[in-house]
Amino acid sequence: MNLLEPIAERLRRFRNYVRITEADEIARRYFVMNAFDGSLTMLGVILGTFLARVHDPRVVIGAGIGASLAMGMSGFFGTYMTERAERTRKLKKLERAMVTNLNETVWDNASSFVSFWAALVDGVSPAAAAIVAIIPFLLAQLGWVNFNSAVALSVGLILATLFFLGAYLGRVSEENAPLSGVRMLLVGLVTGLFIWLISSGGTHGSALILVALG
């Protein structure tokens, strides 16, 4: 009980920082936007690899880990720099209004913490979404499923992630969550179709692209 108390106290403080700076909204936005990015990037990697007739799970795992690491790093550092700049600007504006230095006060601590927290959400969400998509290929590498099943499983997981993200947005906006999930799912399906048309190339694909472009 006593061991958990400092952790609970710290969590309370962090929650307070998020509430003070109203950062929950921006973190929610980052989470959905970047998890969506991660999922669609992996859909591109997986379908592109499959259509290029590369049937080696190690290639997908390597490309997937590389992409998720790059997305994670880009998300973390990009957001940290941006959020820090925005939060510092806001803190300075508040200092001008208060005609006082707010160093070491709750606003100063909250601004620093929230920049890091938003960056963490932004970095982890695309990487996590990408890793979910890689799992079936790890199973294929272990010999538990064949490559084609891994592709189908992975695409299924990506579509499920997209549905979950859409449903989550539906819940945030207090609208119909399943409908919002289906909408996001459709974006995934259309993206998949485009990747298939472009990657499969050839006359069949080109003709379909022309039809699609109207």
Does residue 15 interact with other proteins by CB under 8 A?
A: no
Does residue 86 interact with other proteins by CB under 8 A?
A: no
Q: What is the DSSP string of 101-146?
A: --TTSHHHHHHHHHHHHHHHHHHHHHHHHHHHHHHHHHHHHTTSS-
Using the rule CB under 8 A, which residue among 13, 16, 48, 61 binds other proteins? 16
Using the rule CB under 8 A, which residue among 69, 73, 85, 106 binds other proteins? 106
Using the rule CB under 8 A, which residue among 54, 102, 139, 153 binds other proteins? 102
In angstroms, give the least distance from the CB of 22 to other proteins: 8
Of 93 and 171, which has the nearer Cβ to other proteins?
93
Chain centroid offset of residue 39 CA = 7
Q: Please give the size of the binding site for other proteins, defined by CB under 8 A.
A: 15
Q: Segment 107-126, which members bind other proteins (CB under 8 A)? A: 107-108
Burial of 212 (0-12, 13-18, 19+ CB in 10 A): exposed
Residue 48 and residue 45: Cα distance in Å, rounded?
5
In angstroms, give the least distance from the CB of 106 to other proteins: 5
Using the rule CB under 8 A, which residue among 13, 14, 20, 160 binds other proteins? 20
DSSP three-state, residue 162: helix
**Would you mind telling me the total number of residues written for the chain in this entry?**
214
From 12-20, 39-47, 51-59, 181-189, span contacting other proteins (CB under 8 A)? 12-20
Does residue 97 interact with other proteins by CB under 8 A?
A: yes
Residue 13 and residue 145: Cα distance in Å, rounded?
46
Does residue 85 interact with other proteins by CB under 8 A?
A: no
In angstroms, give the least distance from the CB of 108 to other proteins: 8
Where do runs of H (alpha helix) occur along the chain? 4-20, 24-51, 57-98, 106-141, 147-172, 177-200, 202-213
| Binding site residues, other proteins, CB under 8 A | 16, 19-22, 93-94, 97-98, 100, 102, 105-108
